[in-house]
Amino acid sequence: MGDNAPIGIYDSGLGGLTVVKEVLSLLPGEDIIYFGDTGRTPYGSRPTAEILGFMHEILTFFSAQKVKMAITACNTMTALGLEQAKTEFPFLLIGVNNGVSAALAASRSKRIGVIATEATINSGKHVKAIKAEDPAAYVCPQACPSFVPLIEQEKLFGPEIETSAREYLQPLIDSGVDALILGCTHYPFISPLIRDIMGPEVVLIDPARETAAEARTKLAHNDKLATRAQGRVRLCFSADLPRAERVTACAIDFPRSQGLAPRFELVNLQDFYLEV
């Protein structure tokens, strides 16, 4: 039967676009509504209660859009709020894949690095998941608090991000990891820099593809895959559309010639929150 209702994908800002890219390639028939909270990013160094409040507002917006599924394209909100939110909203809800199985499969030494926001690292989510799959594995978790603000400011190259990256990644190099989980959806934007610093022996794990695959599996199990060949894309942000448009162009190559250009929209979450 299928279901042609849209899929919501959301993040604290622009990072979730790295997941949108994979969903577009795996599920081209789906209508997608992306929400990036560019007005309040970053989330990862904020108190948990505040992050959960923001997440609730975004999911309320998606409720109003009548989505059939929402993909939490943010490790921070996945780690802190996903299980609770699943009980509060009527649509299918998934988080970012944690990258653990892929990292363990790729690692020969079973020494795994994890880089993420402070909130995600403090949640201990990746360490627990790695230890659950392989209790003998060694894990080196590293919070990288300046990455998200710099990426949001479009500083994907240059001395500022390079200095931060060298500082954050040195302990991982010192501890001899051979697989590194990008535990924040913003980080694939700077994977060339991370790869340069870590060296060719270290496999970078970006769980975006796996996240899109999980969405497809869940939709298929619930008989909710779209029945059309080509969906439409709305990209909604809470602030600064020109910046969102520029960064989207770095992340996703929309085949505009076929009329598939996304629609950019400024959205005030409060308009939807107060209605409910």
| Residues found near ligand DGL in the complex (CB under 6 A) | 11-13, 15, 41-44, 74-76, 117, 120, 148, 184-186
Query: Residue 193 and residue 185: Cα distance in Å, rounded?
Result: 15
Whether 72 contacts 7, CB under 8 Å = no
> Active-site residue among 74, 140, 144, 236?
74
The yes-or-no answer on residue 144 being catalytic is no
∠205-131-214 over CA atoms, to 5°? Answer: 45
Whether 169 contacts 198, CB under 8 Å = yes
Query: Residue 165 and residue 193: Cα distance in Å, rounded?
Result: 8
Q: Which is nearer to ligand DGL, 155 or 232 (CB)?
A: 155
The yes-or-no answer on residue 74 being catalytic is yes
Residue 236: partners with Cβ closer than 8 Å, 6 or more residues away: 33, 34, 35, 36, 264, 265, 266, 267
Q: Residue 158: enclosing H or E segment and its boundaries? A: none
> Active-site residue among 140, 144, 184, 236?
184
* Min CB(135)–ligand DGL separation in Å: 26
* Min CB(42)–ligand DGL separation in Å: 3
Residue whose CB is nearest to ligand DGL in the complex, by number: 44
Query: Residue 252 and residue 24: Cα distance in Å, rounded?
Result: 9
Q: Which is nearer to ligand DGL, 75 or 97 (CB)?
A: 75
* Min CB(62)–ligand DGL separation in Å: 17
C-alpha distance from residue 86 to each of 65, 70, 90, 99 (Å): 17, 10, 8, 21
Query: Residue 76 and residue 217: Cα distance in Å, rounded?
Result: 23
Q: Which is nearer to ligand DGL, 82 or 260 (CB)?
A: 82
Q: Which is nearer to ligand DGL, 80 or 177 (CB)?
A: 80
Q: Which is nearer to ligand DGL, 109 or 153 (CB)?
A: 153
* Min CB(194)–ligand DGL separation in Å: 15
Whether 119 contacts 51, CB under 8 Å = yes
Q: Which is nearer to ligand DGL, 98 or 117 (CB)?
A: 117
Query: Residue 52 and residue 76: Cα distance in Å, rounded?
Result: 10
* Min CB(220)–ligand DGL separation in Å: 25
* Min CB(254)–ligand DGL separation in Å: 21
The residues that are catalytic are 74, 184
